[in-house]
Amino acid sequence: MPEVALYEGIELFERTFKQQIQSNGEIKTQENLFIKKFGDAPGEWPVVPDRYRLIWMPGCPHAHKVVITRKLLGLEDVISLGTTGIFRTPKGWVFSEDPREVDPVLGIHYLHDVYIKENSDYVGRSTVPIIVDTVTGKGVNNDHFWLSIYLNKDWKKYHKKGAPDLYPIELKEQIDKLNNFIYERINVGVYNCGFARSQAAYEKAYDRFFEAMDFIDLHLADKRFLFGDFITDSDVRLYPSLARFQVTYYQVFRANRNRLEEFKNLWPYARDLYQTSGFKETTHFELIKKHYQVSPHLRPLWGNVYGLVSKGPDLSGWVLPHDREKLSKHGLQKFLIHE
């Protein structure tokens, strides 16, 4: 892992997000460059195994949900996985953990090369997750909101035997509605809190974020998972924000009304997910913590001049019993399985 760059101050943060900073102190979401879907229609990417590579950065919650989905569905032998380093450079994400700092499949040093190949004048940020075509080296899709759904729907014929149905057709509309709420009010909501550039913007985002967290906490009082007895796509996309809350958001984003452990239902619910195969193996707490706390473009958010990494918090509670199975008619079974 490369050494932490010298502290440049808030100017680096503002240069990084200059395309998204609003005059009222809020941050708008960047539009995705690659949005073509998978399928057999003209202009769509064919659903074939061993052709595509999913790129992620372990600290990113949006990438994390897609990697969890890939693992739960058994697509690991169908879509390969590439990993960037956790520190953004002036040119974006770098494959710093690979030999010679080059992705062994795509043969690139900067992820940004994929974006420039699509548009030589591209001035936005290169983002993860992104699926890349290994044949042409072109970007396929970086629409992180829908990528997990595409893996559930379009790649179903390559799901492993006994794969979970995370997006059951009878719940589609309800899942889509809740997904939008989770995304806007929690996944992105906490970023609006952390990236705010005015007191008013910060307090507005803070209140909306915790209002949403309280709503979900109450919703889980009599349900094991968001839609009852089985894990769905909605649970998968809520989990990365919960996993990052205590080690990063509470400190760096000043989302500090209370700790995750103080939510009556969200805390045991988060442990229930963490202790499920597919979640724990993809949750790298130390990398997550280092990314948010000492990344050059994020350090200024909490004045981390010397690039220190907090020793805590204590993570041992994630493996404590959760007792959530008592809310389910199916006991230890957590997934609705494909027929």
339 residues of the chain, pLDDT tens digit each? 455 678 888 899 888 988 887 877 677 889 999 999 999 999 999 999 999 999 999 999 999 999 999 999 999 999 999 999 999 998 999 999 999 999 999 999 999 999 999 999 998 999 999 999 999 999 999 999 999 999 999 999 999 999 999 999 999 999 999 999 999 999 999 999 999 989 999 999 999 999 999 999 999 999 999 999 999 999 999 999 999 999 999 999 999 999 999 999 999 999 999 999 999 999 999 999 999 999 999 999 999 999 999 999 999 999 999 999 999 999 899 999 976
The secondary structure of 246-313 as a DSSP string is IIIIHHHT---SS-GGGSTTHHHHHHHHHTSTTTGGG--HHHHHHHHHH-TTTGGGGT-TT-------
pLDDT at 20: 85
Q: Quote the number of domains for the chain.
A: 2
Same domain as 269, residue 186:
yes
Q: How far apart are CA 284 and CA 157, in angstroms?
A: 30
pLDDT at 201: 92
pTM: 0.96
Other beta carbons less than 10 A from residue 1's beta carbon:
10
Examine residue 201 and state whether it is found in any structural domain, yes or no.
yes
pLDDT at 233: 98
Examine residue 114 and state whether it is found in any structural domain, yes or no.
yes
User: Which one of 134, 158, 182 terminates a domain?
Assistant: 158
User: Which one of 158, 192, 214 terminates a domain?
Assistant: 158
Same domain as 315, residue 174:
yes
Structural domain for 259, as ranges: 169-327
Examine residue 43 and state whether it is found in any structural domain, yes or no.
yes
pLDDT at 25: 65
Distances in Å between the Cα of 145 and the Cα atoms of 24, 148, 150, 176 are 25, 7, 10, 10
Chain length of the chain: 339
Distances in Å between the Cα of 25 and the Cα atoms of 203, 248, 292 are 11, 21, 21
Same domain as 190, residue 140:
no
Same domain as 310, residue 181:
yes
Same domain as 255, residue 111:
no
Examine residue 10 and state whether it is found in any structural domain, yes or no.
no
H helix intervals, the chain: 10-16, 61-73, 112-118, 144-153, 172-182, 189-195, 199-219, 233-244, 250-252, 266-274, 285-294
Q: How far apart are CA 215 and CA 209, in angstroms?
A: 10
pLDDT at 126: 95
Write phi, then psi, for 314 (nearest 5 degrees).
-70, 125
Same domain as 132, residue 187:
no
Same domain as 277, residue 145:
no
Residue 117: partners with Cβ closer than 8 Å, 6 or more residues away: 137, 138, 139
User: Which one of 105, 124, 158 terminates a domain?
Assistant: 158
Catalytic machinery residues: 60, 191
What's at 62, amino acid-wise?
Answer: H
The single residue listed with the structure tokens 């992180």 is 144
Question: pLDDT tens digit string along 291-310?
Answer: 999 999 999 999 999 999 99
Cβ contact 202:254 at 8 Å: yes
Same domain as 314, residue 176:
yes
Same domain as 319, residue 174:
yes
Write phi, then psi, for 96 (nearest 5 degrees).
-75, -15
Q: How far apart are CA 136 and CA 328, in angstroms?
A: 47
CATH of the domain at 322: 1.20.1050.10
Sheet (strand 139-141) strand order = 80-83, 52-56, 130-133, 139-141
Cβ contact 166:69 at 8 Å: yes
Q: How far apart are CA 147 and CA 263, in angstroms?
A: 30
Cross-strand pairs, 110: 94
Examine residue 163 and state whether it is found in any structural domain, yes or no.
no
Same domain as 213, residue 148:
no
Q: How far apart are CA 76 and CA 79, in angstroms?
A: 6
What's at 74, amino acid-wise?
Answer: G
Same domain as 235, residue 264:
yes
Cross-strand pairs, 54: 81, 131
Examine residue 335 and state whether it is found in any structural domain, yes or no.
no
Other beta carbons less than 10 A from residue 128's beta carbon:
24
pLDDT at 62: 97
Same domain as 178, residue 142:
no
Cβ burial, residue 284 (10 Å; 0-12/13-18/19+): middle
CATH of the domain at 103: 3.40.30.10
